[in-house]
Amino acid sequence: MLLALNLLDRQILDRDGRPVGKVDDLELAIHDDGSPHVAALLVGQQALGDRIGGRLGAWIAGTARRLAPDDRQQPIRIPYDYVGTVDSAVKLTVARELLPDAPLETWLRDHLITRIPGADNAG
Asked if the 3-117 domain carries CATH number 1.10.620.20, the reply is no
Q: What is the pLDDT of residues 13-63, one digit of tens each?
A: 999 999 988 998 999 999 999 999 999 999 888 888 888 889 998 998 888
The contacts of residue 78 (CB under 8 Å, 6+ apart) are 12, 20, 40, 41, 42, 43, 92, 99
Question: Which pLDDT belongs to residue 109?
Answer: 77
- Report residue 70's pLDDT band, with 50, 70 and 90 as the boundaries: low
Task: Kindly list the domain boundaries of the chain, sorted by start residue.
Answer: 3-117
**pLDDT tens digit sequence for 56-69:** 989 988 887 777 76
pTM: 0.74
DSSP the chain: --HHHHTTT-EEE-TTS-EEEE--EEEEEE-TTS-EEEEEEEESHHHHHHHH-HHHHHHHHHHHHHHSSSTTPPPEEEEGGGEEEESSEEEESS-GGGSPPPHHHHHHHHHTGGGSTTGGG--
